[in-house]
Amino acid sequence: MSSPGVDGDPKPPCLPRNGLVKLPGQPNGLGAASITKGTPAAKNRPCQPPPPPTLPPPSLASPLPRAALAGGLCPPPGLPLGGPASAPVPGPPVERPPLATDEKILNGLFWYFSACEKCVLAQVCKAWRRVLYQPKFWAGLTPVLHAKELYNVLPSGEKEFVNLQGFAARGFEGFCLVGVSDLDICEFIDNYALSKKGVKAMSLKRSTITDAGLEVMLEQMQGVVRLELSGCNDFTEAGLWSSLSARITSLSVSDCINVADDAIAAISQLLPNLAELSLQAYHVTDTALAYFTARQGHSTHTLRLLSCWEITNHGVVNVVHSLPNLTALSLSGCSKVTDDGVELVAENLRKLRSLDLSWCPRITDMALEYVACDLHRLEELVLDRCVRITDTGLSYLSTMSSLRSLYLRWCCQVQDFGLKHLLAMRSLRLLSLAGETPTSPLPRPQLTRLRQPCRAPRGESHLELCPRVPWPGPDGDARRTPPPAGGQPATPGHTAEPPNPVPCSSEAGRVLHSLWPGWSAPS
């Protein structure tokens, strides 16, 4: 038998015999060699299958391609065992909170709810409460607390002051306390953590606070710069002298029977930084307005004299000379002010942007001519209940290029012709009309034509309308003149009306129809 290295040998090159394997001759000149089966020289076993590859743990290796799995353990040439080299190794999944508790989503969502709805939503869960109790959601809001809501009655019958931590968490800067006494105010100061420095505004309404209580409140609450006293009849002018602080920049006093001229003297001397003063006092005279000095002239920009029946044109003279920098003036209910007083205002207060002459029955068209000629910066004009204004006065106002808001509610002599003058006012954004005249009620078609020029060209104008509702008096007479809007006191023979014009909506129509069956909704 020929050797395995001879050409033409019919036997295969590797033939096991007696447990031995013969190897063919090597090209380097070495002869055939034989090794015993099972020796570790694996490189000399070209006929045996390669050992199975070592695979990484399943958690570290990527899944093999389907083609590699179909062809066995050996991957195709050029493909790594762990799959393509460019495939990223996936990390552990990131856990995200549910959408209902995702603070980023909730912070954007809660802006679409009203204050009352936010109070309810804060009770859903702790996550919502934590988001909603951020001060940014409550900016500009003032909590109103009645005296009976300040205490909890214990089973023993004793009273315990309520917990105000929720108000402190939301960072309220102002509070309105209704019907409280001196003791209630002291309890509020002791139990509210931010009362010393954090409270900027305080409003007391229909309360029995005395001079001593007012003095303690302003002494303890050093952060208060805005103060409102409404319907508080137990403090006197002496209390203002002893309690007012120079840090106060805004003061409002209304329906307090003990406020008269001496109170204005205390305000003018003790409040040099006063920027806004609102006063409703029936006993204030022209003498009180003479107490204003040049110190208030630099700082005071808003003055509201509401239903000060004793003020005449002489008082207006004192105002315009002492407060030349006024930007907002209200003489609402000052029934003794005439056209001459309005002329003084127009000639001396050229910075005015808002003027309220409502419930001034002696104002005529001549006053509107003074306003149109001199007040070139005026943006708001209120003429409600000015019963002597006619269409001629509206023609004067139509020349004002800066006027944006005009209130003509219950001006009984304004007719259709006067409304046509307002069509040329390109800057007018709000026109408030209400009521009707005994002879010619304001027609709906004309108001419809007025609405289009006001709204269509700019897209942001507003025409405020009120349905012509007959306001019945106690004796059933539907032609009685209703009282003013906005909380003005009614004169004898008047009945109450809502503070705002009634909107022309289906819901309002159903309510009005239930109150006055003769009322029909406008088409």
Residues 113 and 222 both lie in one domain:
no
Residue 5 is predicted with a pLDDT of 47
pLDDT of residue 198: 86
Share of the chain above pLDDT 90, in %: 46
Q: Is residue 112 part of a domain?
A: yes
Tell me: the pLDDT tens digits for 370-387?
999 999 999 999 999 999
Q: What are residue 187's phi and psi, to 5 degrees?
A: -65, -40
Split at pLDDT 50, 70, 90, the class of 67 is very low
Confidence at residue 421, expressed as pLDDT on a 0 to 100 scale: 86
User: What does the pLDDT read at residue 99?
Assistant: 75
Residues 187 and 317 in one domain: no
The torsion angles phi and psi of 254, rounded to 5 degrees, stand at -145, 145
- The answer on pLDDT for 444 being more than 50 is no
Task: Name every residue whose Cβ is closer than 8 Å to that of residue 166 and which is 6 or more positions away in sequence.
Answer: 133
Q: Report residue 192's pLDDT band, with 50, 70 and 90 as the boundaries.
A: confident
Neighbours of 307 (CB within 10 A): 20
Lowest mean pLDDT among 6-15, 112-121, 421-430, 463-472: 463-472
> Which residues constitute the domain of residue 188?
139-246
356 phi and psi angles, rounded to 5 deg: -115, 110
Residue 443 lies in a domain: no
Q: What is the pLDDT of residues 334-364, one digit of tens each?
A: 999 999 999 999 999 999 999 999 999 999 9
Tell me which of 399, 434, 469 is where a domain ends: 434
Looking at the domain assignment, is residue 318 inside a domain?
A: yes
Which CATH number covers residue 426?
Answer: 3.80.10.10
> Do both 274 and 241 map to the same domain?
no
Measure the CA–CA gap between 434 and 483, rounded to whole angstroms: 12
Same domain, residue pair 127 and 197: no
Structurally, the chain folds into a number of domains equal to 3
**pLDDT the model gives residue 25:** 55
User: Per residue in 269-321, pLDDT tens?
Assistant: 999 999 999 999 988 999 999 999 888 888 999 999 999 999 999 999 999 99
> Are 277 and 396 members of one domain?
yes
pLDDT at residue 93 in the model: 66
Residue 237 and residue 222: Cα distance in Å, rounded? 21
Arithmetic mean of pLDDT over the chain? 76
Query: Which neighbouring-strand residues pair with 35?
Result: 21
Top pLDDT among 232 and 171 is at 232
> What mean pLDDT comes out for the span 178-206?
91
| Lowest-confidence pick of 2-11, 410-419, 495-504 | 495-504
Burial of 398 (0-12, 13-18, 19+ CB in 10 A): middle
- Of the two residues 90 and 499, the one the predictor is more confident about is 90
This model's pTM is above 0.75:
no
Side-chain-facing half-sphere of 509: CA atoms under 13 Å = 7
